Amino acid sequence: MKKTLTISAFGISAAIALAGCAGTSGSTPAGTMPGMGSGGMGTSSSSAPATADHNAADTMFTQGMIPHHAQAVEMSDMMLRKQGMDARITALATKIKAAQAPEIAQMTGWLKTWNEPAQMASGHGMGDGVMGDDDLKKLDAAQGTDAAKLFLAQMIAHHEGAVMMAKTESSRGKNPDALSLSKAIVSAQEAEIQEMKDLLASL
């Protein structure tokens, strides 16, 4: 039942641009985690660990998570554009966007440091929890409570896919930064999944 990854290049570039705005002053090293708080993400020196060795699992995780995050930002933007939305949904969309946009910029920097392509080779897309074009069109068109319920249902599936990807990285990856991010994603998104399930039940 996996859906094909269909995020536009514009969506990814827009998310990266947003991430640039979300950073502190542009002086954050590539190995640090802006916006992650105190979730066990230590600040690295200027030479490590971003330049540390990496393996194929690190590359696949990073190449897959960038468009995955970009779609979450795109979905959140859709909700923030809607009028009269439940304040809890607006707050959730704002939180998701604020957390994931900076991570897109961080992971993009890692790939450059590793001299790896920004995108996976053709036929190796990671579609865990990714919405298809029809799903996004339905979300964009929906309004009111229907939109809120659809957003929550889609984002729960989206988060579950991200958690699966992050757990794979945690067990197979090598790069310290990528491993730290994968653990942070599991912790943050599992908590948000429960939050969204509770919220969905209350609508």
Domain residue spans of the chain: 53-119+131-202
Tell me what pLDDT residue 118 has.
Answer: 86
Fold adopted by 53-119+131-202: Ferritin (1.20.1260)
| CA R_g for the chain | 16
Residue with tokens 């230590």: 42
128-160 pLDDT per residue, tens: 889 999 999 999 999 999 999 999 999 999 999
Alpha helices in 114-175 (DSSP H): 133-141, 144-172
Task: Quote the CA–CA distance of 156 and 14 in Å, as a whole number.
Answer: 23
Which pTM was predicted? Answer: 0.75
46-87 pLDDT per residue, tens: 344 455 689 999 999 999 999 999 999 999 999 999 999 999
Task: Quote the CA–CA distance of 111 and 114 in Å, as a whole number.
Answer: 5
Could you check whether the bond before residue 49 is cis, i.e. omega within 30 degrees of 0?
Answer: yes
